[in-house]
Amino acid sequence: MSALNLDTYIPELVKKHISKRGYETIQKVKQFVEEECLPADEVYFNQMSNEPSKRWASVPPIIEELKEKAKKLGLWNLFLAGYKEGPGYSNLEYGLMAQFLGRSHVAPEATNTNAPDTGNMELFVKYANEKQRKEWLEPLLNGDIRSAFLMTEKGTSSSNALNISLSAKKVGSNEVVLNGTKWFASGAGDPRCKVWLVMAKTTPDAENPYKRHSVIVIDAEKAQATGKVKVVRPLHVFGFDDAPHGHCEIQFNDLRVPFDLLDKEGEGFTLIQSRLGPGRIHHCMRLIGMGDEAIYQAIKRASNREIFGKLFITKEVFIHELGERRIALERVKLLVLEAALKIDLVGSKGAKKEISIAKIDTPRTVGNIIDWAIQVYGAEGVSQDTPLTRLYMSARMLRIADGPDEAHLNQLGKAEAKKAKEINQLYSRIYAKTKRLSKF
């Protein structure tokens, strides 16, 4: 797809907000993904071992090769907008880069912009002390290690963080004992995963329920060496185990570790809200790329699939549906870029509405686009011979991850309902001037 000009991907409305340096880097990201990462996707999966003992013990060598290339090109840690540790791009500029990164399975990790490390690095950048920065942040920024964020719990409605119940009882002044089960801990199966950020209930009796949780920093290797915590299994998502990273179930049985907090005790709720704001948009940015890739895959298939003696791409039904999918993707792209720009201008808290709208609409819209592309392919579309099944899995999972659709719709709806008083006052004035007998 290198024949497509970069301006094809950048809405006219946002061009004035992009620096010359940002534009040049977006171009480099596009080229890197198309020339290096998309061809490497198949190599990556071919290098993955199917032997259980090896599958979770090694990483396809192509990843390190790509990381070195990305570093030399200056395409590294692109997501850290607004921090001195980052390369100095805005959220909007990164969003335009991420739409290309999302097209390839390996591209996010190749550029050190992969989840959950992006969110964890932002937490370390904002809240870590000097020791934590040296021990964990620096190797994460270098791409030397990986991390996991342990929040979701088995049997618990974890979309409401107040329900998190992993027990963390303090022992003395500097240790804590953990009991409970976490799961869907993304990245915890990776052999390079060295640090866990664990959301736990440290002050269960606090009067304010929003001050009962803390984020504990745990050395994953030392913790597992005690035998008191076990990575039980990787959870499969629509049949994918996502090796070597995984979405793991982890059981804590009287694990005693240093009481090493990120920020202060009782600030866990604040930290996860801080982590999820930009993170939700990062996922949506990559989803735009997934939608693009699905559309391109459909065009490629339709260009070579004959139906009753004519190529499918010439059929009116395909042309109509293709147009509808492009409209849908451009719509959510604008929603995502609006949220990114709003974060740049007023911060995540001030962009809550825009973040929620993008988070709700993007995964389901892109999921529908991928579903259509699968249908265009036919049986091949649900096989391992196209990227569509993995793309669909990612889009569907993101309707649950980082807060389910229902939670965001509830938050958005409540915010809109609060406008009722002002709206009623406005129409009362209108009715008074027009002397209408009825308000309805």
- In terms of Cα–Cα distance, which of 107, 144, 139, 274 is closest to 199? 274
Number of structural domains found in the chain: 3
- Which structural domain range is residue 378 located in? 276-403
Is position 136 within any domain? no
Is position 241 within any domain? yes
Angle at 64 between CA 59 and CA 66, to 5 degrees: 125
**pLDDT in the model for residue 197:** 97
Rounded percentage of the chain residues whose pLDDT exceeds 90: 82
**Same domain (yes/no): 315, 243:** no
Is position 232 within any domain? yes
**Same domain (yes/no): 257, 322:** no
- Per-10-residue mean pLDDT for the chain, 440 residues long? 76 94 97 97 94 90 98 96 92 95 97 94 95 98 97 87 92 93 96 97 94 97 97 94 95 97 93 74 92 97 92 95 98 95 91 92 97 96 94 94 87 93 90 67
Any idea what the CATH number is for the domain that residue 373 is in?
A: 1.20.140.10
**Same domain (yes/no): 249, 299:** no
- DSSP-derived secondary structure letter, 135: I
Q: Is the CA virtual torsion 260, 262, 267, 272 positive or negative? A: negative
Distance CA 148, CA 117 (A): 7
**pLDDT in the model for residue 1:** 43
Is position 47 within any domain? yes
**Same domain (yes/no): 242, 174:** yes
**Same domain (yes/no): 281, 391:** yes
Look at residues 206, 238, 261 and tell me which one is the last residue of a structural domain.
261
Is position 434 within any domain? no
**Same domain (yes/no): 306, 378:** yes
Look at residues 211, 228, 261 and tell me which one is the last residue of a structural domain.
261
**Same domain (yes/no): 325, 243:** no
**Same domain (yes/no): 239, 337:** no
Look at residues 261, 296, 326 and tell me which one is the last residue of a structural domain.
261
Is position 128 within any domain? no
Angle at 400 between CA 394 and CA 404, to 5 degrees: 145
How do strand 175-186 and strand 167-171 relate by DSSP bridges? antiparallel
B/e letters for 98-131, b = 16+ CB within 10 Å, e = fewer, are bbbbbbbbbbbbbbbbbbbbbbbbbbbbebbeee
**Same domain (yes/no): 236, 341:** no
Question: Tokens 């052999």 — which residue?
Answer: 191
Is position 376 within any domain? yes
**Same domain (yes/no): 26, 100:** yes
Any idea what the CATH number is for the domain that residue 239 is in?
A: 2.40.110.10
Q: What is the pLDDT of residues 100-113, one digit of tens each?
A: 999 999 999 999 99
Contacts of 257 (CB under 8 A, 6+ apart): 175, 176, 178, 216, 218, 219, 222, 223
Is position 280 within any domain? yes
Any idea what the CATH number is for the domain that residue 53 is in?
A: 1.10.540.10
**Same domain (yes/no): 179, 285:** no
- DSSP-derived secondary structure letter, 65: H
**Same domain (yes/no): 73, 104:** yes
